[in-house]
């Protein structure tokens, strides 16, 4: 008999407010991939998972991205402080989850290969164990997305500057549960144009299969 899972409310927060500073002025969110925009790929994986709600945090080029990328099905939050670093997007996302949220899964808007199966594995581990932090691993190496329980929300809200919630992982090693996933998508984010070209080559996309 398997372990029973509770039905804690878990909200996915897609972080897509950054300036794409290492992409030579290109917006990662609207780059084509697999016949869609890169951000849409991430949003669809979240929407097709066991997450209860999906929040997308936008900031830089908000008007362009919100007009070009279909974010149907998810809630959009604008982060006016995006230029101060990633911590501001964490706070903006958490501010939108509501009082019934038991856990927040932070997804990166530049990880289009993270699919709903990976998300489901992290969410299920949280619902089974109720550990404050759940980290996916592949071949023993941790990656994203990472889930944080409500008990750690106040600490995330206190973060400042261009730091993510990874700093809390280092501080709370005894509060972490890990879940091994089947592929290395959790390690692959697109920071540079070279990363994007490598992604297309890996997936046999031809310039993202134009939209």
- Alpha-carbon span 129 to 74, nearest angstrom: 27
pLDDT tens across 103-130, in order?
999 999 999 999 999 999 999 999 999 9
Chain-centroid distance, C-alpha 180: 17
As for how many domains the chain has, the answer is 1
CATH number at residue 185: 3.90.550.10
Burial of 16 (0-12, 13-18, 19+ CB in 10 A): buried
Q: How many C-beta neighbours within 10 Å does residue 178 have?
A: 15
In a domain, 5, yes or no: no
In a domain, 209, yes or no: no
In a domain, 208, yes or no: no
In a domain, 59, yes or no: yes
Mean pLDDT of the region 62-75: 95
Least confident span in 47-51, 58-62, 146-150, 162-166: 162-166
- Write a three-state SS string for the chain: CCCCCCCCCEEEEEEECCCCHHHCCCCHHHCEECCEEHHHHHHHHHHCCCCCEEEEEEECEHHHHHHHCCCCCCEEEECCCHHHCHHHHHHHHHCCCCCCCCEEEEEECCCCCCCHHHHHHHHHHHHHHCCCEEEEEECCEECCCEEEEHHHHHHHHCCCCCCCCHHHHHHCHHHEEEEECCCHHHHCCCCCHHHHHHHHHHHCCCCCCCC
pLDDT tens across 131-174, in order?
999 999 999 999 999 999 999 999 999 999 888 888 899 899 99
In a domain, 3, yes or no: no
In a domain, 2, yes or no: no
Q: What percent of the chain shows pLDDT beyond 90?
A: 83
In a domain, 72, yes or no: yes
Residue 211: pLDDT band (50, 70, 90) is: low
In a domain, 1, yes or no: no
Domain interval for residue 97: 10-203
Mean pLDDT of the chain: 92
Q: What confidence score (pLDDT) does residue 3 get? A: 45
The pTM score is 0.92
Mean pLDDT of the region 73-93: 95
- Statement: residue 2 has pLDDT above 80: no
Residue 1: pLDDT band (50, 70, 90) is: very low
- Alpha-carbon span 143 to 188, nearest angstrom: 9
CB 101 within 8 A of CB 10: yes
Q: What confidence score (pLDDT) does residue 210 get? A: 54
Q: What confidence score (pLDDT) does residue 25 get? A: 79
Report whether the peptide linkage leading into residue 145 is cis, meaning its omega lies within 30 degrees of zero: yes
Residue 75: phi and psi, rounded to 5, are: -95, 135
């Amino acid at each position: 008999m398997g372990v029973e899972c509770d039905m804690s409310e878990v909200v996915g927060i897609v972080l897509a407010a950054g300036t794409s500073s290492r992409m030579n002025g290109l917006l990662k969110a609207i780059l084509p991939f697999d016949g869609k925009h890169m951000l849409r790929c991430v949003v669809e994986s979240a929407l097709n998972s066991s997450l209860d709600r999906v929040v997308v945090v936008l900031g830089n080029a908000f008007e362009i991205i919100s007009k070009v990328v279909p974010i149907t099905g998810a809630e959009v939050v604008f982060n006016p402080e995006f230029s101060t670093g990633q911590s501001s997007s964490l706070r903006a996302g958490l501010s939108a989850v509501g009082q019934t949220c038991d856990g927040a899964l932070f997804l990166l808007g530049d990880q289009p290969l993270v699919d709903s199966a990976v998300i489901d594995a992290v969410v299920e581990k949280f619902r089974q164990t109720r550990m404050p932090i759940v980290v996916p691993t592949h071949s023993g190496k941790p990656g994203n997305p990472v889930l944080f329980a409500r008990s750690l929300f106040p600490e995330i809200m206190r973060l400042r500057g261009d730091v993510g919630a990874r700093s809390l992982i280092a501080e709370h090693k005894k509060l972490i549960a890990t879940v091994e996933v089947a592929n290395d998508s959790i390690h692959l984010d697109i920071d540079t144009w070279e990363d994007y070209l490598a992604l297309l080559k890996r997936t046999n996309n031809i310039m993202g299969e134009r939209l």
